[in-house]
Amino acid sequence: MTTFAAARTADPQGAPSTRDGRVRVAVIGGGQNCEHEVSLASAAAVAGALDPAAYDVVRLTIDGDGGWRDGEGRLVGLGGAVEVLETCAVALPIVHGPRGEDGTLAALCELAGVPYVGSGVGAGALAMDKWATKLVADSLGIGTAPGRVLTAATAASCTWSGPVVVKPVAAGSSRGVTLVRAPEQLGDALTEALALDDRILVEDLIEGREIDVAVLGGVHGDRLVSPALEVLVDGPFDFDAKYGGGAEFMIPAPLSDIDRRALEEAALAMYDALGCDGVARVDFFLTDDGLVLNEVNTMPGFTEQSQVPKMFAAAGLPYAALLDRLVRDVLVT
């Protein structure tokens, strides 16, 4: 693990650039999933924060129906989008959720031969699959909530056994996630989750503090760990709380040295075991019995007010510098 004082931004010598010396960067936003609007906001923020003196930013947007648009809003199709990508030195796939964060866009960039920011195909697919992530955590000795996987064919076998959280296996932004505290709520929760995914998780409710830790991979294999962030919210940290202003973030989270080290070590272990690259946010519950992994996000929310940028800014790496580091590290690998 590297400290922030020792962090170094790589020099992209020899990287493809425009005639005026700027590096041409494609920022991909939107997406064909339930996180479309969130991804649009993240991509717009990223595109606006990249230094125009250093970067020639090219926008690509994926519509909700899967169509691709260029920076002028014109439909160009997948073939046209690839042609644009091939003119760029690096791509930033700022698309949360399925058909984006799950390795789909990483695969497209690899097939097009375009370097990209973020985790590769395998890490994106594993981390997006919450059940697979739980299995990885269990193999590392990191606690997870007891739970089971259900499908439309097996959901009827789910009976009330106490408070649970129902969620899609592969979705984000808390879409389709329901805290079920009464038996009569269970059926609707299962139906809502199954509307977004053909596999769902039913997990025992974990009561504890919600603590996030971000990990930033470096060009030489070093990893920076952000200060821990605590989510302060009255009720569940659901979609409305995340994007409606109902939650506050405390950075750094007030933690004992023992808890802080345990969270950092668990975040690094998950980052490495999943094979992540770039930045990832690892979410935990901190209970009286220790930490419990919630999930891993390989393309977390990325506006300046999102958790990860706030976490690194608190450690002296502001938003624009974080983006610059992510891009430049890709260009020298």
**What are the extents of the domains in the chain?**
4-117, 125-143+206-331, 147-204
pTM attached to this predicted model: 0.90
Amino acid 235: pLDDT: 60
Give yes or no for residue 146 having a pLDDT over 70: yes
* Residue in 78, 43, 108 with CA at minimum distance from that of residue 304: 43
pLDDT in tens, 251-279: 999 999 999 999 999 999 999 999 999 99
Cβ of 233: how many Cβ atoms within 10 Å? Answer: 15
Is the per-residue pLDDT at 5 higher than 70? no
How far apart CA 262 and CA 274 sit, in angstroms, is 18
Cα radius of gyration (the chain): 20
The hierarchical CATH code for the domain 4-117 is: 3.40.50.20
Burial of 198 (0-12, 13-18, 19+ CB in 10 A): exposed
Q: Supply the pLDDT for residue 207.
A: 93
Answer whether 125-143+206-331 and 147-204 agree in fold.
Answer: no
**Using CA atoms, how far apart are residues 223 and 163, in angstroms rounded to an integer?**
37
Q: What is the pLDDT of residue 8?
A: 28
Q: How far apart are CA 149 and CA 126, in angstroms?
A: 15
pLDDT at 11: 38
Class of domain 125-143+206-331: alpha beta
**Cα angle for residues 70, 174, 71 (degrees, 5° grid):** 5
pLDDT digits (tens, 9 = 90+) for 44-84: 999 999 999 999 999 999 999 999 999 999 999 999 999 99
| Angle, alpha carbons 189-236-205 (nearest 5°) | 65
Residue-wise pLDDT for 17-30, tens only, equals 566 889 999 999 99
- Fold held by 147-204: Dna Ligase; domain 1 (3.30.1490)
Q: Which residues contact 150 (CB under 8 A, 6 or more apart)?
A: 157, 158, 190, 199, 200, 201, 202
